[in-house]
Structure 1
């Protein structure tokens, strides 16, 4: 009878090359931390600034995203409409905000 592990699609261990890959998001976080650390030299801060501007700006342009966590795709119009309608029904929303929501709903249609 075959061993149970022979039927699994899950690799038994992580390939060795995966141990040495750097996660680009973690690299960017490290450079941002360098910029905010008062104990780091001006040269090191300039180096981190250069890397963030050059390497990560190119990555953002090709991916269409941002390292700051902003949305990389358009908002769902259905969700936007539901949020605007909810603000119309919410008693805690000002009359001015309700008028703005009505106007945005009209523009969406």
Structure 2
């Protein structure tokens, strides 16, 4: 089985590559969105074990990213609401 962290890293590199088409970037973002939960489960990482400030920043950026799926944006909204309620 491949290392999901490396796979996700490859997709993230695609997003930042100026020589990659917008369609490829959209496909990479969808793949990241789909793989992220599996990676967190496999690695034992989740929002509660990470730096909360980084988590909040990442989810806010996700909401503004035009390449992010609506499902991923909804997940980010839910996480931000949960974190806000916990304060």
- The TM-score, its normalising length taken from structure 1, stands at 0.37
Question: RCO higher in 1 or 2 (8 Å CA, sep ≥ 6)?
Answer: 2
- The TM-score, its normalising length taken from structure 2, stands at 0.45
Structure exhibiting the larger radius of gyration computed from Cα positions: 1
